[in-house]
Amino acid sequence: MLGVAGEILLWWGASFGVWLISLSALSGQELLVAALASIPCGAAAYGTRRVIGDTWTARPRWLGAALVLPVAIVTDTAQVLWAAATGKRGRFVRVRTGFAGDSTEARAGRGVAVALVSTSPGSYALDIDPGTGEMLVHSLAPKGPRVESRLGR
Protein backbone atom coordinates (compact mmCIF):
# COMPACT_ATOMS: atom_id res chain seq x y z
CA MET A 1 0.00 0.00 0.00
CA LEU A 2 2.34 2.76 1.22
CA GLY A 3 5.63 1.03 0.62
CA VAL A 4 8.63 1.23 2.92
CA ALA A 5 9.45 4.88 2.23
CA GLY A 6 5.82 5.94 2.55
CA GLU A 7 5.36 4.20 5.88
CA ILE A 8 8.62 5.57 7.29
CA LEU A 9 7.52 9.03 6.12
CA LEU A 10 4.16 8.56 7.85
CA TRP A 11 5.87 7.57 11.13
CA TRP A 12 8.35 10.43 10.70
CA GLY A 13 5.40 12.84 10.39
CA ALA A 14 3.77 11.47 13.52
CA SER A 15 7.00 11.80 15.49
CA PHE A 16 7.64 15.28 14.13
CA GLY A 17 4.09 16.30 15.06
CA VAL A 18 4.46 15.05 18.63
CA TRP A 19 7.72 16.99 18.94
CA LEU A 20 6.08 20.17 17.64
CA ILE A 21 3.13 20.08 20.00
CA SER A 22 5.52 19.73 22.93
CA LEU A 23 7.29 23.01 22.10
CA SER A 24 6.53 26.22 23.91
CA ALA A 25 8.03 28.35 21.12
CA LEU A 26 8.96 27.60 17.52
CA SER A 27 12.42 28.39 16.25
CA GLY A 28 14.39 27.31 13.22
CA GLN A 29 16.76 25.32 15.41
CA GLU A 30 13.91 23.42 17.08
CA LEU A 31 12.34 22.61 13.72
CA LEU A 32 15.65 21.33 12.39
CA VAL A 33 16.28 19.17 15.46
CA ALA A 34 12.71 17.86 15.34
CA ALA A 35 13.02 16.98 11.66
CA LEU A 36 16.35 15.21 12.14
CA ALA A 37 15.42 13.41 15.37
CA SER A 38 12.21 12.14 13.78
CA ILE A 39 14.09 10.25 11.05
CA PRO A 40 15.35 7.42 13.30
CA CYS A 41 11.99 7.42 15.11
CA GLY A 42 10.20 6.79 11.82
CA ALA A 43 12.61 4.04 10.86
CA ALA A 44 12.37 2.41 14.30
CA ALA A 45 8.57 2.50 14.23
CA TYR A 46 8.54 0.89 10.80
CA GLY A 47 11.04 -1.76 11.90
CA THR A 48 9.11 -2.50 15.08
CA ARG A 49 5.86 -2.93 13.18
CA ARG A 50 7.59 -5.31 10.77
CA VAL A 51 9.05 -7.39 13.62
CA ILE A 52 5.66 -7.62 15.33
CA GLY A 53 4.22 -8.79 12.01
CA ASP A 54 0.80 -7.34 12.62
CA THR A 55 -1.13 -4.50 11.07
CA TRP A 56 -3.40 -2.23 12.99
CA THR A 57 -6.20 -0.40 11.30
CA ALA A 58 -7.73 2.24 13.52
CA ARG A 59 -11.45 2.67 13.12
CA PRO A 60 -12.68 6.27 12.89
CA ARG A 61 -15.27 5.63 15.62
CA TRP A 62 -12.47 4.87 18.08
CA LEU A 63 -11.15 8.38 17.73
CA GLY A 64 -14.38 9.82 19.17
CA ALA A 65 -12.76 9.42 22.57
CA ALA A 66 -10.00 11.76 21.37
CA LEU A 67 -12.53 14.55 20.94
CA VAL A 68 -12.82 14.97 24.71
CA LEU A 69 -9.03 14.98 25.22
CA PRO A 70 -8.43 18.77 25.06
CA VAL A 71 -11.05 19.50 27.72
CA ALA A 72 -10.06 16.42 29.76
CA ILE A 73 -6.41 17.51 29.79
CA VAL A 74 -7.31 20.95 31.13
CA THR A 75 -9.76 19.72 33.78
CA ASP A 76 -7.51 16.81 34.78
CA THR A 77 -4.51 19.10 35.18
CA ALA A 78 -6.44 21.29 37.61
CA GLN A 79 -7.64 18.25 39.56
CA VAL A 80 -4.18 16.65 39.69
CA LEU A 81 -2.63 19.89 40.98
CA TRP A 82 -5.39 20.16 43.59
CA ALA A 83 -4.85 16.53 44.60
CA ALA A 84 -1.13 17.16 45.01
CA ALA A 85 -1.80 20.20 47.19
CA THR A 86 -4.39 18.46 49.38
CA GLY A 87 -2.96 14.94 49.50
CA LYS A 88 -5.94 13.40 47.75
CA ARG A 89 -5.35 9.85 46.56
CA GLY A 90 -6.51 8.28 43.34
CA ARG A 91 -8.52 5.13 42.90
CA PHE A 92 -8.44 2.10 40.66
CA VAL A 93 -11.40 1.55 38.38
CA ARG A 94 -12.25 -1.10 35.81
CA VAL A 95 -13.50 0.15 32.45
CA ARG A 96 -15.06 -1.89 29.66
CA THR A 97 -13.40 -1.08 26.37
CA GLY A 98 -15.33 -3.32 24.01
CA PHE A 99 -12.05 -4.72 22.66
CA ALA A 100 -12.07 -8.33 23.84
CA GLY A 101 -10.49 -11.18 21.93
CA ASP A 102 -7.40 -11.89 19.91
CA SER A 103 -8.41 -10.43 16.56
CA THR A 104 -6.26 -7.77 14.93
CA GLU A 105 -9.04 -5.25 15.45
CA ALA A 106 -9.34 -6.06 19.17
CA ARG A 107 -5.57 -5.76 19.70
CA ALA A 108 -5.48 -2.47 17.82
CA GLY A 109 -8.45 -1.16 19.81
CA ARG A 110 -6.75 -2.03 23.09
CA GLY A 111 -3.61 -0.18 21.97
CA VAL A 112 -5.59 2.92 21.02
CA ALA A 113 -7.56 2.73 24.30
CA VAL A 114 -4.40 2.61 26.42
CA ALA A 115 -2.83 5.51 24.51
CA LEU A 116 -5.93 7.70 24.76
CA VAL A 117 -6.63 7.03 28.44
CA SER A 118 -3.00 7.53 29.45
CA THR A 119 -2.65 10.81 27.54
CA SER A 120 -4.69 12.76 30.05
CA PRO A 121 -2.87 13.58 33.32
CA GLY A 122 -5.74 12.38 35.51
CA SER A 123 -5.75 8.73 34.45
CA TYR A 124 -3.35 5.97 33.54
CA ALA A 125 -4.15 2.60 32.00
CA LEU A 126 -2.32 -0.18 33.82
CA ASP A 127 -3.61 -3.29 32.09
CA ILE A 128 -6.25 -4.68 29.75
CA ASP A 129 -7.55 -8.21 30.03
CA PRO A 130 -7.56 -9.51 26.43
CA GLY A 131 -10.27 -12.04 27.26
CA THR A 132 -12.80 -9.53 28.56
CA GLY A 133 -11.48 -6.26 27.15
CA GLU A 134 -11.69 -4.76 30.63
CA MET A 135 -9.06 -2.11 31.39
CA LEU A 136 -7.64 -1.34 34.84
CA VAL A 137 -7.22 2.43 35.18
CA HIS A 138 -5.74 4.52 37.97
CA SER A 139 -7.85 7.65 38.14
CA LEU A 140 -6.98 10.79 40.08
CA ALA A 141 -9.42 13.14 38.38
CA PRO A 142 -13.03 11.90 38.61
CA LYS A 143 -14.73 15.12 37.45
CA GLY A 144 -15.07 16.44 33.94
CA PRO A 145 -15.13 14.58 30.63
CA ARG A 146 -13.66 11.08 30.82
CA VAL A 147 -11.88 9.60 27.83
CA GLU A 148 -12.47 6.10 29.19
CA SER A 149 -16.26 6.60 29.13
CA ARG A 150 -16.15 7.02 25.34
CA LEU A 151 -14.08 3.95 24.47
CA GLY A 152 -15.44 1.34 22.12
CA ARG A 153 -18.33 3.46 20.96
The pLDDT tens digits along the chain (153 residues) read 568 888 899 889 999 998 888 888 889 999 999 999 999 999 998 888 888 776 667 777 777 778 888 888 899 999 999 999 999 999 999 988 888 998 888 888 888 888 888 888 999 999 999 999 999 999 988 887 777 777 755
State the pTM of this model: 0.67
Name the strand (E) or helix (H) holding 95.
Answer: strand 91-96
- Which bin fits 87, alpha (ψ -120 to 50), beta or left (φ > 0)? left
End-to-end distance of the chain based on CA atoms, in angstroms?
28
